Amino acid sequence: MSVVDSIRRLFAPSHVAAHIAAGQRGEDIAARYLRDHDYRILDRNVRIGHDEIDIVAYDPIDRVFIFAEVKTRSKADSDYRPELSITHKKRIRMTRAARRYMARSQHDADVGYRLDVICVADSKVIEHYPEVAWTDD
Which residue segments constitute the domains of the chain, with CATH numbers given? Answer: 3-129 (3.40.1350.10)
Q: Is the pLDDT of residue 102 over 70?
A: yes
pLDDT digits (tens, 9 = 90+) for 36-76: 999 999 999 999 988 999 999 999 999 999 999 998 887 67
pTM of the model: 0.80
Distance of CA 98 to the CA centre of its chain: 11
Q: Is the pLDDT of residue 107 over 80?
A: no
**Residue 91: its pLDDT value, please?**
87
Q: List % helix, strand, coil for the chain (3-state, nearest 5).
A: 35, 30, 30
Number of H helices, E strands in the chain: 3, 5
